[in-house]
Amino acid sequence: MRTFFLPPERWAEPYLLDGQEARHLVKVVRVRAGDMVRLLDGRGREGEFRVTATEKALVRLAPVSITDHPAPASQAVLAIGWGKEVRRGWLMEKAVELEAGGIWLWQAERSQSRVPEETRESWHSQMEAGAKQSRNPWLPELRTLPGGVAELAEASRGFSRRFILWEGDTGGVLLGAGDLGQPGRTLFVVGPEGGFSDREVATLLDSGMTAVSLGDRVLRWETAAMLCLGLHWWGRQGK
């Protein structure tokens, strides 16, 4: 059964898919009346729907079953230093597949450009693609932090656990299995392509974060980000 995305505010009679989703269903998938599709809303709802009619850029649907999934009790939020656009969309999609609870893009001193004040529609589209691929009914919280490390430190208050993935000297402290998949929200802070500045590390440590290492190798920012989410996702399994 094919999976598509319908924004939460549109989950009401009459159920309609339009725009790119409808065009894909009609022109590529070639659905007909009576076919079944799955819809997600990104806020925990998943439904199976029967196609009742199709038009050029519109698909009419009738609900067969709708399930409300609770938000995960254990969530990983990824705070990524603003970096190269070429890998950002890929990261957004994979983060949803690994059930990230949030994606924060923060302005680092070594970022190569300025982080926008607002999130972009293309980022949401990438996350929706990840949701459809993985059937994850929950999209991450997506936000930008143009205020730099000070705004990041302030926004991180209230988390159950907060880690800086630092390429510097952590005194041999590795991200451990006991840190992964625990109840509550866990924040993983990753620097940009050029790494953290000394001032940023000091600010984050002073705010109560813990500096940890992912091992002996220096990883690209997107590799470190995916490794954190993958380890946390693995740690949640069976809990």
Would you kindly state where each structural domain of the chain is located, as residue ranges? 3-68, 74-236
pLDDT band (50, 70, 90) for residue 58 = very high
Query: Cβ distance 74 to 184 under 8 Å?
Result: yes
Express each pLDDT in 97-140 by its tens digit.
999 999 999 999 999 899 999 998 999 999 999 999 999 999 99
pLDDT at 172: 66
98's tokens: 């690994």
The answer to whether residue 92 scores a pLDDT higher than 90 is: yes
The answer to whether residue 169 scores a pLDDT higher than 80 is: no
Amino acid at 52: T
Which of 21, 33, 16, 23 is CA-nearest to residue 56? 23
The answer to whether residue 227 scores a pLDDT higher than 90 is: yes
CA distance 152 to 207: 10
Query: Cβ distance 149 to 200 under 8 Å?
Result: yes
pLDDT at 67: 98
pLDDT at 239: 66
Residues 6+ apart with CB under 8 A from 119: 142, 143, 144
Instruction: For the full predicted model, state whether its pTM sits above 0.85.
Output: yes
CATH topology of domain 74-236: Alpha/beta knot (3.40.1280)
Measured between alpha carbons, how far apart are the two ends of the chain, in Å?
A: 28
Which of 139, 203, 214 is CA-nearest to residue 179? 214
Q: Which residue has the higher pLDDT, 103 or 85?
A: 103
- Asked if the 3-68 domain carries CATH number 3.20.20.210, the reply is no
80 burial (CB, 10 Å; 0-12 / 13-18 / 19+) is: buried
Q: Which residue has the higher pLDDT, 83 or 126?
A: 126
Q: Which residue has the higher pLDDT, 102 or 20?
A: 102
Q: Which residue has the higher pLDDT, 173 or 41?
A: 41
